[in-house]
Amino acid sequence: MLIYCSVCKVFMVELTRGWNSRLGFSLRGDGHHTYISAIYADSVAAKDGRLQPGDQVLMVIDCTPSTVMTIKLLL
Domains of the chain: 2-73 (2.30.42.10)
Q: How far apart are CA 36 and CA 6, in angstroms?
A: 13
pLDDT score for 20: 77
pLDDT in tens, 26-65: 888 888 888 999 999 989 999 999 999 999 888 777 666 6
Higher pLDDT, 11 or 51: 51
CA dist., res. 75 & res. 72, Å (int): 5
Q: Is residue 64 within 8 Å of 58, Cβ to Cβ?
A: yes
Check residues 63 and 22 and name the one with the higher pLDDT: 22
Better pLDDT: 34 or 71: 34
